[in-house]
Amino acid sequence: MNTAEETQILDAIARWLERDVRPKARELEKKDEYPESMVETMKELGLFGATIPQEYGGLGLPASTYAKIVAQISEVWMSLTGIFNSHLIMAAAVSRYGTEEQKKKFLPKFASGEVRGGLALTEPDCGTDLQAIRTRAVRDGKDYVVNGTKTWISNGIKGSCFALLVKTDPNAKPRHQGMSMFLAEKGKGFRVSKKLEKLGYKGIDSAELIFEDYRLPAGNLIGGVEGKGFHHAIGGLELGRINVAARGVGVANAALKDSVAYSQVRKTFGKPICEHQAIQLKLGEMATRCEAARLLVESAARAYDAGERCDMEAGMAKYFASEAALENSIEAVRIHGGYGYSTEFNVERYYRDAPLMCIGEGTNEMQRIIIAKQLIARNPA
């Protein structure tokens, strides 16, 4: 993609954000209301097909452009990015690992937003340790019968199709060889148990999904071969971590911009607080975090676009950018003083949204372990 095309896409999204999202985000977030009209516009903008290949109806955007889109939207309302990010990880699993028949059947509907969904990995007793999942799929003729529970599933209520990670061989050694991933469409035996209430990240539905003797056609096994599910999940999480990192950039930038603006109008001791050294120290650190996070995201996206293994780069970007968002949001609250604790200003929302990114798509503690292991593997003594 050339620079002119990228600029055109980013400009169109910027106009939509200023016209339709910024004026309504705070009210929708406060009500925890699903942004139906915004989702329709996201369909029109092609966001549900952002990284899906053009031959299947998507925009075919590189991760580098996609990351800029995510950061841009996250500056205004981070929740919107979750509606299409989890969906695109599901699509990436099909695009990268699916059979040609699966690609032709599902990807055009994913790209248009006609069928939307997400990634169903996490379980009540299993988060970062994916190999500990208990949801089971047992072959029965031309179908698989699924039983189990998934939780914290983005788009769980509004979505209709999910990349579902299950155990097809619970006795396999090593454990990951007994895992498979399916495209699971809602139907008999597949129900939403409840909507999960959250500290932040409002507007997007996070739900618990229950599978009780749910029958899946064998043709929905991604790639058509059992035992590849863990590989499919980890591959998708590279893009997911770049997305979360880009969200971190967006929230960190929003906290910085709001703080810079407020510090010039708020006065204490006869002058704007931006002239006080204590505030300048905070702003200097916040700006540096934003730029460093942005550069790390760009590095990870370039590696992903080049088809290189990028779990270390994505881990670095996700770890640093999410921590940058958290630290900047805290500093923004402090700079705004009492108003930072008020729902009349956006900084309290950044403060509630930011912690999610330190947890989601693999905790930051796990990211540091991944980084260290890859560092050693790439630099043998």
Q: Percent of the chain scored above 70 by pLDDT?
A: 100
Whole-prediction pTM: 0.95
Instruction: State the pLDDT at residue 128.
Output: 75
Residue-wise pLDDT tens digits, 131-157: 889 999 999 999 999 999 999 999 999
Per the listing, tokens 């016209």 go with 19
DSSP 3-state of 237: helix
Residue-wise pLDDT tens digits, 250-307: 999 999 999 999 999 999 999 999 999 999 999 999 999 999 999 999 999 999 999 9
Residue-wise pLDDT tens digits, 17-73: 999 999 999 999 999 999 999 999 999 999 999 999 999 999 999 999 999 999 999
**What CATH fold (topology level) applies to the domain 231-378?**
Butyryl-CoA Dehydrogenase, subunit A; domain 3 (1.20.140)
Distance CA 181, CA 137 (A): 10
Q: How far is CA 14 from CA 17, 143, 201, 252, 282, in A?
A: 5, 46, 21, 18, 28
Query: If pLDDT is split at 50, 70 and 90, which confidence band does 79 have?
Result: very high
End-to-end CA distance of the chain: 40
Query: If pLDDT is split at 50, 70 and 90, which confidence band does 376 have?
Result: very high
Distance CA 3, CA 13 (A): 15
Q: At residue 97, does pLDDT exceed 80?
A: yes
Query: If pLDDT is split at 50, 70 and 90, which confidence band does 238 have?
Result: confident
Distance CA 25, CA 357 (A): 19
Q: How far is CA 365 from CA 86, 152, 219, 290, 358, in A?
A: 22, 19, 37, 21, 9
Instruction: State the pLDDT at residue 110.
Output: 98
Query: If pLDDT is split at 50, 70 and 90, which confidence band does 166 have?
Result: very high
Q: At residue 339, does pLDDT exceed 90?
A: yes
The DSSP secondary-structure symbol of 270 reads: T
185: phi then psi, degrees, rounded to nearest 5: -95, 145
- Which helix (H) or strand (E) element contains residue 154? strand 143-154
**What CATH fold (topology level) applies to the domain 117-227?**
Butyryl-CoA Dehydrogenase, subunit A; domain 2 (2.40.110)
The DSSP secondary-structure symbol of 128 reads: S
Instruction: State the pLDDT at residue 130.
Output: 82
β-pairing verdict for 136-140 and 179-185: unpaired
Query: If pLDDT is split at 50, 70 and 90, which confidence band does 234 have?
Result: confident
202: phi then psi, degrees, rounded to nearest 5: -80, 165
Q: Domain residue spans in the chain?
A: 3-112, 117-227, 231-378
For 44, residues 6+ apart whose C-beta sits below 8 A from its C-beta are none
Query: If pLDDT is split at 50, 70 and 90, which confidence band does 2 have?
Result: confident
Listed in sequence order, the DSSP H helices in the chain are: 3-16, 22-31, 36-45, 63-77, 79-97, 100-112, 229-265, 277-305, 311-336, 347-359, 364-378
101 is catalytic: no
**What CATH fold (topology level) applies to the domain 3-112?**
Butyryl-Coa Dehydrogenase, subunit A; domain 1 (1.10.540)
- Which helix (H) or strand (E) element contains residue 194? strand 190-195
Give me the chain's average pLDDT, please.
95
Answer yes or no: are the C-beta atoms of 364 and 370 closer than 8 Å: no
- Which helix (H) or strand (E) element contains residue 183? strand 179-185
Q: Which of 100, 114, 361, 365 is catalytic?
A: 361
The mean per-residue pLDDT over the stretch 115-119 comes to: 96
Distance CA 126, CA 136 (A): 14
Query: If pLDDT is split at 50, 70 and 90, which confidence band does 125 have?
Result: confident
Name the residue among 76, 98, 80 with its Cα closest to residue 33.
80
The token pair at 71 is 């950061």
Distance CA 119, CA 124 (A): 15
